[in-house]
Chain A
Amino acid sequence: MLKIEIDGQAVEVEHGSTIIDAADKIGVAIPRFCYHKKLSVAANCRMCLVQVEKFNKPLPACATPVSEGMKIFTRSKSAIEAQKSVMEFLLINHPLDCPICDQGGECELQDIAVGYGSVKSRYTEEKRVVLNKNIGPLVSTDMTRCIQCTRCVRFLKEIGGMMELGLVGRGEHAEITAYVDKSVESELSGNIIDLCPVGALTSKPFRYSARSWELTRRPSIAAHDALGSQIEVQVKNNRVMRVLPREKESINECWISDRDRFSYEGLNSTERLTVPMIKQNGEWKEADWKSALEYVANRLKVVAEKDGNDIGFLVAPTSTMEEGYLTKKLARGLKSGNVDHRLRRGDFRLDGHFQGTPWMGCNIPDLQEMDRVLVIGSNLRNEHPLLAHRLRHAVKMNAAEVSIVSSLDDDPLMPVAFKEICSPDGMINELLQILKAMSSLQRLSLCLPPSLNKLLEGIEVSANADAIAHSLAGLGKDYDLVSPRSGVFLGNMAQHHPRYSELYSLAEAIASLCGATFGVFSESANRVGLDLARALPSAGALNARTMLEQPRKAYMLVNVEPEFDCRNGKQAADAMAQADFVVALTPFKSFALNDADVMLPVAPFTETSGTFMSMEGRVQSFAAAVKPLGECRPGWKVLRVLGNLLGLEGFDFDSSEAVKNEIFGGEKPSKVVWNKLNNNLRHLVEVDVKATSTALRRIGEIPLYQSDAIVRRSLPLQKAGQSSVGMAAMNSALMQKLGLQEGDLVRVKQDAEAVKLPVRLDDRVYDNCVRVPVCAETARLGDLYGEISVEKAS
């Protein structure tokens, strides 16, 4: 520790601290623009100049490391003079158009100018004008206001992983710009709006719609991935105007993904369902809540009286724990075991084998401290944008080695130590190879069950698989570690994989052989929570897949749009069409719900209280940020009343808190979580090495902005997402084999359902695979990872 003095105040700080760190520590305010604690030091704004004893020039506090006995004066005559002069320079070319600037009221330049600016300008020359740039549908630019602090440049380079903005030109002509004719495509781009200390970068969807001081700030939890990012929902006139991050170092630091930031536009979509609707003679009619609920209760009762298992309950994994729990309770009350929230899962062979609720296996910040990581089946930047950043940090700052096994070679924007891009079936083989290499490396083959050992005998280990095993075990690409902190993780694409059970078993075996953390980067905001709340089929009952394969007479859908949210859109649509009765609890009218009989308007996460549990097992409850729109009701209340109407016991909850209490059995949630989270299998599942089929295989990726119903309705996000349009992407070899060219129209066929899609050249896709992402045009195709045929459309 170093002893120094700031403005006469003694303070002890760590070696390597800068003056600004030390001042922040004791609450001495030093004005700054370019400095940001999460970004590299640029020292270019010069606003933080302070006086230091024995130096004749003022020094920038952000870039000057402290030394023992240093005496710093932040408010001395020379310091103030320097700060004021910099302020004057910053303002001479700034347009001072605060009354029409969106940043007004939350502008760092404005705030600091109050303290350090002059009342009158001495600058009488012409001011600089900088042309605005179009950097996409999310971030609006007013470049004349820019003070060239380069926070946005450094963010995109250091956190986003790609330098999409830069400072070009010299001197006064220096301006921030993107590559020629390119927009900023980072999935974290919205953070540059928060970082910009002036009104140069503002939110395109939000701008001109409200002033910061008119907004009420309500804490909430982000609802589109399993990170559990803490957000602040800002509200005006009972309408969500924008969403900003709340700082939470251990989860989202001070960032949020664009999906979490701009999804709120979907909340204000014209497709919002605001009154209960009942279909009569094929026509939707508005209804009041009482008759709608009674109608639903009666219809369900009729089916349940014959056999409760004729009803299927599908819960979207974005639903709250309370909604999931009450749905399950309702199902059990109606003697149905058919409840599931794992709608995109294809392989349920592991059910009954888990010792607990599968989770991430560690905490989020642990990820960036890891030395060796193997990620299996994940398009990281799409699935968990901020987790990708944590891993990027581990690689860049801590020289971690990240290896990837996947069918898609999408760039995670970080150096990858080893990668194996293979067919979906090939992934099983690849993991077997890694397991074999690991078992011979650790000389621990005896730990594996004999059947697996026997299987491994016939496996030939490739050099790459061997390298991945070595890396995980500590024998790295560049340097070796005796006891590395390693992790093996399964992504969303692994969870959607038709042979997830095998991937899971093998990944667990690899992890346990090398002592690595093993976990699942689970999808959606609340998959882990719904698992813990047991929104799962009871023993022997139907799961999300079989419920559709063996169509039910009736379905209850909670926040589900069947074609978009289920693994097999075609099958889901057909199941709904044939059912006698479908009730949908939904915030949106949707053409995907055309085959429903009743639509009950339930509140999205901003309009209801509830609880999400993140992939790291963090239980986070939130209150409604706004009142429900129209006649919308919180989902838990609707389910509660349905329970009452059906005469079921134990539905007398008067708050979502009461539901939560019951979920956790009156215990502290953290204690329950501690007991329940467990990734271990009771025993290994048999693995078979099937011959790989020669048929074309669909890679049914869920694009970044197709993840759930709210996101799908956010127009700015839809404009931003390249992959939100239908396409059949394949590598050049397959294109050549099929005699296709980029832009050709093809008939893509799955299970008797065909759509016409343009062909895209995409060499990131593995041989004989076709990337057909889920979107409006492709929603009615079949299995996400099923066989697919592609032929040139005439």
Chain B
Amino acid sequence: MANEVCFRTLHLPNPGSLETYRSIGGYETLKRIVTEKVKATEIINQVKISGLRGRGGAGFPTGLKWSFMPRYYDGTKYLVCNTDEGEPGTFKDRDIIRYNPHQLIEGMAIAAYTLGARVGYNYIHGEIWEDYVFFERALDEARAAGFLGENLFGTNFSFDLYAHHGYGAYICGEETALIESIEGKKGQPRFKPPFPASFGVYGKPTNVNNTESYASIPFILQHGGQAFQDLGVANSGGTKIFAVSGHVEKPGNYEVNMGIPFPELLSLAGGIWKGRQLKAVIPGGPSTAVMPAASIMGATMDYDGLSKAGSSLGAGSVIIMDDSTCMVQTLKRLSYFFFEESCGQCTPCREGTGWLYRVVKRIVDGEGRMEDLDLLTDVSSNISGRTICALGDAAATPVLSFIKHFRPEFEYYIQHGRSMVTGK
């Protein structure tokens, strides 16, 4: 049941090559759509039926997003793929562009056909150079084979796709900051509205999706939206790549059906390492709330399942922590990340992330005060919902959830000046 959509070439030799991709019917769907002039509304309808939701973390229904793009527009429309995965514990998209790049290219070409985009960019995270090089190679192959460029398949449909290597800023994964960065400006989010669908790259209508979302498109249009939906559960169609990291025997990417019970995913990853006990899980990347073992073990891995259990699916970056983990020290690391990656544009995030980090650091340094816990909660709440983009909320979430679920550990740390777990 694994690796059915984005990783469907993974079991074959040389999985990232054009040859391999074509051997499983790659680019046939694009060719059919373009040469048979399938209607855009029909494609969007299939995507809607598929239940595909944005795989970058926000989970916005992809079909609905596509329908926001203006159909009639006098000028260039753009397509952007967001491969800027920079959150700790997130490493799924890099494997798509490395092991199945052509499916992404085909997915983007289909999207371009559907949305009338002439030019596309794939914005690749700055810290993954090798995968970027692989993707450039795949683009060359696709161009040479006539799947990208002018008048594809002898029709008047043309689509150029370029890879853009970023510089490693987490904020550039925010779609409007990513657009600014593509334009050559400092990556910082724009105020919305207007949304990219009306004012995107160079002020033109632009559709931005995650790598995994685009890579799911060829499957959806090859087998029908319903087939994709049937792989998953209600409200969460299809498969999902979970990037499992942390204290497991076999960390890695697992493409499984949506709605898989967490224990099953955990056993796929070989279970907790060294025979230890599960303590907590961050199910969707650090911007999602941490869950204590008890609540995650009963949860299913899909949008609704995790939401009900008090967290969210995010980008599916599952960080497993065993019972040797000090939650205070972990929070310090996470807070540092958001402090370091805040773009500094708007006040609550610029000032607040530094405040949070410094207070948590002070606790770890043994100089915490009991009132710090309320202060942290309060400052986090003051950041939440008051910033231009979601980075502010992302920075607040771990602080709020860590203190909520592991308050005694924090109190112990403050009282004793050392960790309850490690004793150091």
Contacts and interface: CB of A to CB of B under 8 A. Distances in A.
Interface string A4-21: 000000000000000000
Contacts of A166: 186
A417 B111 CA distance: 38
B386 A46 contact: yes
A523 B186 CA distance: 41
Contact of B343 (A56, A92, A147, A174): A174
A89 B382 contact: yes
B348 A44 contact: no
Interface of B: 169, 171, 186, 191, 193, 339-355, 358-359, 362, 375, 382, 385-388
23 contacts: A42-B191, A44-B347, A44-B388, A46-B346, A46-B387, A56-B385, A85-B348, A86-B348, A89-B350, A89-B351, A89-B382, A125-B358, A125-B359, A125-B362, A126-B358, A148-B345, A148-B350, A167-B186, A169-B344, A170-B340, A171-B344, A174-B343, A174-B350
Contacts of A60: 191
Nearest to A168: B186
Given A46-B386, A170-B342, A41 B191 contact: yes
Interface in A172-204: 172-174
Nearest to B369: A124
Nearest to A172: B354
B346 A44 contact: yes
A43 B388 contact: yes
A178 to B, nearest CB: 15
B76 to A, nearest CB: 17
Contacts of A43: 191, 346, 388
A128 B353 CA distance: 13
A45 B345 CA distance: 8
Main secondary structure of the interface of A (DSSP, over half): loop
Contacts of A167: 186, 344-345
Interface string A128-152: 1000000000000000000110000
Interface in A113-128: 122-123, 125-126, 128
Nearest to A94: B351
Contacts of B358: 125-126
A717 interface: no
Contact of B350 (A82, A88, A122, A171): A171
Contact of B351 (A42, A58, A92, A170): A92
B386 A49 contact: yes
Given A86-B386, A171-B353, A122 B375 contact: yes
Nearest to A126: B358
A57 B386 contact: yes
A90 interface: yes
Contacts of A147: 347
Given A58-B385, A63-B191, A89-B352, A174 B347 contact: no
Interface of A: 41-47, 49, 56-58, 60, 63, 65, 82, 85-86, 88-90, 92-93, 122-123, 125-126, 128, 147-148, 166-174
Nearest to B338: A171
Nearest to A147: B347
A78 to B, nearest CB: 10
Given A89-B382, A125-B358, A172 B191 contact: no
B351 A90 contact: yes
B346 A57 contact: no
B171 A170 contact: yes
Nearest to B342: A171
A85 B386 contact: yes
A46 B354 CA distance: 17
B345 A174 contact: yes
Contact of A45 (B343, B344, B346, B382): B346
A126 B340 CA distance: 16
B31 to A, nearest CB: 39
Contacts of A45: 346-347
Contacts of A44: 345-347, 388
Given A44-B346, A86-B347, A170-B341, 20 more contacts: A41-B191, A42-B191, A43-B346, A44-B347, A44-B388, A46-B386, A47-B347, A49-B386, A82-B386, A85-B386, A89-B350, A89-B355, A93-B351, A147-B347, A167-B345, A170-B342, A171-B343, A172-B342, A172-B350, A172-B354
Nearest to B344: A174
B287 to A, nearest CB: 16
A93 B355 CA distance: 10
A224 B407 CA distance: 68
Contacts of B348: 46, 85-86, 89
Nearest to B190: A43
